[in-house]
C-alpha cells in the first residue's frame, strides 16, 4: 500500500493542491482543516507522515505538534511543518518540539514532494548492522527502537536517523553538513541550527546515555563510550 500523508491546513485550496500533487506522486492523502478532525483521525489511523500548518484559526500548530509527540503511538511519525512564518526562531521551536523538517509558504510542490521522499527514506544498506550497542545504548534498526539500560526511548524519525548514523561509525566525527546530507540529501533544511536542535533533543531523551554523544567544537558530533 502507498504511504499515507495526513495534512492539517485551514486553507481548503492548499489542501486540494496537496491532494492532487501527492496523489500524483504516488501517495494516499488525508486532509483536515481543523485540529479536532485530525485528532479524531489519528485516534484510529497512523499515517506515514504528517504535514502541519503552524498558522491555524482554531489552534496553534505548535501545540498540535506537541500533542502528537506526547502520544506513544504517534511519537515516531515524521512531521513536516508548513509555515508562513519567516522567523528562524519559530522554525527552531518547531524542531525542538519534534518536527522533522519545515517548508516556508509559499512553497514549491516539487520541493515538498522531494522533502517527503527524503524524510520517509529509511537509510542503511544490506550490510548495515541491524543492532548496534554503544555503552548502555542499544539501537535496533529493524524494530526502529532505542533502549538505554533496558528502558525504551521514544525518538522521532529524524532523531533515530541521526543516532543511527553516529552509531554506524563509533568514534568518527560527522560534520553538520554530513548529517544534513544523510537526512535530506540535496533537500537540506536551511536553518543552520537544525542539527544542533535535534542533537539537544536526543540528549534530553537519552538521559545518562546522553554523554555518549560528543560535541567536537567547530567540527560536528560523534558517538563513543
Task: Establish if 32 belongs to a structural domain.
Answer: yes
Sequence-ordered list of residues with C-beta below 8 angstroms from that of 20, at least 6 positions apart, any chain = none
Is residue 109 domain-shared with residue 152, that is, in the same domain? no
pLDDT tens, residue by residue, 199-212: 999 999 999 999 99
Q: How many other β-carbons are positioned within 10 Å of the β-carbon of residue 111? A: 11
Domain span at residue 71?
A: 4-120
CA 125/CA 27 separation, integer angstroms: 24
Phi, psi of 133 (to 5 degrees): -120, 135
Poorest-pLDDT segment among 56-60, 118-122, 145-149, 219-223: 118-122
pLDDT at 126 exceeding the cut of 50? no
Out of 98, 120, 142, a domain closes at: 120
pLDDT value of residue 150? 83
> pLDDT grade, residue 178 (50/70/90)?
confident
- Cβ atoms of 97 and 80 within 8 Å: the answer is no
On average, the pLDDT of the chain sits at 85
Per the listing, cell 522533522 goes with 100
Bond before 87 cis per omega within 30 degrees: no
Q: What is the CATH number of the domain that holds 211?
A: 1.10.10.10
Phi, psi of 215 (to 5 degrees): -95, 115
Out of 88, 120, 152, a domain closes at: 120
> pLDDT grade, residue 84 (50/70/90)?
confident
Out of 120, 150, 182, a domain closes at: 120
Is residue 109 domain-shared with residue 135, that is, in the same domain? no
pTM passes above 0.85: no
pLDDT tens, residue by residue, 88-100: 676 778 788 888 8
C-alpha cell at 123: 537509510
Amino acid at each position: 500500500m502507498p504511504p499515507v500523508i495526513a495534512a492539517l491546513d485551514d486553507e481548503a485550496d492548499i489542501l486540494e493542491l496537496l491532494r492532487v500533487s501527492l496523489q500524483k506522486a504516488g501517495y494516499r492523502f488525508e486532509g483536515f482543516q481543523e485540529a479536532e478532525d485530525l485528532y479524531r483521525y489519528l485516534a484510529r489511523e497512523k499515517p506515514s507522515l504528517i504535514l502541519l500548518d503552524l498558522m491555524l484559526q482554531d489552534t496553534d500548530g505548535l501545540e498540535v505538534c506537541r500533542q502528537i509527540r506526547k502520544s506513544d503511538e504517534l511519537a515516531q511519525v515524521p512531521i513536516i511543518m508548513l509555515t508562513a512564518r519567516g522567523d528562524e526562531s519559530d522554525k527552531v521551536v518547531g524542531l525542538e518540539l519534534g518536527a522533522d523538517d519545515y517548508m516556508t509558504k509559499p512553497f514549491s510542490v516539487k520541493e515538498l514532494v522531494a522533502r517527503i521522499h527524503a524524510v520517509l527514506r529509511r537509510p542503511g544498506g544490506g550490510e548495515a548492522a541491524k543492532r548496534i550497542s554503544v555503552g548502555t545504548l542499544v539501537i535496533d534498526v529493524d524494530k526502529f527502537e532505542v533502549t538505554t539500560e533496558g528502558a525504551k526511548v521514544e525518538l522521532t524519525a529524524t532523531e533515530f536517523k541521526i543516532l543511527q548514523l553516529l552509531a554506524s561509525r563509533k568514534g568518527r566525527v560527522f560534520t553538520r553538513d554530513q548529517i544534513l546530507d544523510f537526512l535530506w540529501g540535496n533537500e537540506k533544511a536551511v536553518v543552520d541550527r537544525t542539527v544542533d536542535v535535534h542533537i539537544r533533543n536526543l540528549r534530553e531523551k537519552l538521559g545518562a546515555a546522553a554523554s555518549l554523544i560528543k560535541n567536537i567544537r567547530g567540527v560536528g558530533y560523534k558517538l563513543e563510550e
